[in-house]
Amino acid sequence: MGVPARSVYLDHAATTAVHPKVVEAMLPYFSEKYGNPSSLYGLGREARKAIDESREKVAEILGARRDEVIFTGCGTESDNLAIRGVAFANKSRGNHIITSSVEHHAVSHTMAQLNKYFGYEVTYLPVDRYGVVNPDDLARAITDRTVLITIIYANNEVGTIEPIAEMSKIARARRIPFHTDAVQAAGSLDINVDHLGVDLLSLSAHKFYGPKGVGVLYARKGSAFLPMQTGGSQERNRRAGTENVPYIVGLATALTLAYGHLEDNNRRISQLRDRLIDGVLKIPYSQLTGHPTQRLPNSASFTFQFIEGESILLNLDLLGISASSGSACTSASLEPSHVLVAMGIPVEIAHSSLRLTLGRENTQEDVDYVLGVLPGIIEKLRAMSPLYNTRLAQA
């Protein structure tokens, strides 16, 4: 097998390479400034200062107070902590939670657990064919027992952006805490918590060129909240455990870099995305999934009738192209995407999904390379498909 003509990474929704400036900022805290932030001597105070400065940077971008920023181990932990923390703290008020049918599994699996083992009632709001939640459906779903609403900001599979600000107004009018999973949105969209109107918001550093293994939960001051990790007073008693200083520094550095050039980056990447979408949709029996305009600037997702998405991925990989068929957390599953099914896409077509997500290193030449090889891959796979050959015969 020969070496691919080009290496193209188009799975930035799964993870991103750590920015060189982020690595540079992190390095001293591994071997030189390695103190425990809870220690009172110089090395400890130095580590504590790094955390405080990082918290300030994150709070500034969120438009939040420093004491509203909680550092966690990842976006999944942030989602889990927000949902369980609020649900358990408000158990005396009610046991009803509202979410959407297109959430990341960090949310939906937590909902299933709360329902099965703790007796919470969960309402899953439907979406339209583009994956958008109707705020009117949210308003109708609220009851006197509702203690939390959690809706994803931008979908990790199809890139659709939800009307979070509109929905949070509905929640606020009823005095119900509102959480959004902003893991996929961070680094591309406005995450100012007052603009969004949210009470809780989750982030993960590795989605915006920071390190894996560190995240953020924003929790508005005054929100009833029960910690899930106990054993120390770290993070103002909301998340026990010695803080991961180098990774926290890396997260804050990466977030600052991302929002320092947000408009220019989004403009360039969205132009590449649109070029990619236009080219892919020239392939017969292809379909764009997600909202045509209200989508992340780097996200393009498709289905191709009569073939399997996994086969497309394997053939792309042989040509040096890294892509996915949906969420990185579910790509190994044989089940069709719950997001696509919720959008009304038939199961047999949902199995043919392809997600291409661009990043800072991608170029027009990368896009053109993909557009040059993808049609041939689709044609080759369809030639082996009995369903496609039957369709041709009928035509």
DSSP reduced 3-state for 353? strand
- 360 contact partners, CB below 8 Å, separation of at least 6: 16, 209, 265, 269
Q: Among 190, 98, 109, which Cα is nearest to 135's?
A: 98
Catalytic residue among 142, 228, 329, 371: 329
Is 3.10.20.30 the CATH number for 8-16+261-394? no
Give average pLDDT by consecutive 10-residue segment, the chain, 395 residues.
83 98 98 96 97 98 98 98 98 97 98 98 98 98 98 98 98 98 98 98 98 98 93 94 98 98 97 98 97 98 95 97 75 76 96 97 98 97 83 69
Residue intervals in the chain for CATH 3.40.640.10: 20-260
What CA–CA distance (Å, rounded) separates 339 from 127? 9
Q: Is 329 a catalytic residue?
A: yes
**Three-state SS across 271-293?**
HHHHHHHHHHCCCCCEEECCCCC
State residue 3's pLDDT score: 74
State residue 331's pLDDT score: 47
Burial class of 386 by CB neighbour count within 10 A (0 to 12, 13 to 18, 19+)? exposed
What's the whole-model pTM score? Answer: 0.95
Contact call for residues 364 and 272 (beta carbons, < 8 A):
yes
CATH number, span 20-260: 3.40.640.10
Residue intervals in the chain for CATH 3.90.1150.10: 8-16+261-394
Q: What is the torsional sign of CA 234, 213, 181, 90?
A: negative
State residue 334's pLDDT score: 63
Please state the φ and ψ torsions of residue 263, each to the nearest 5 degrees.
-65, -45
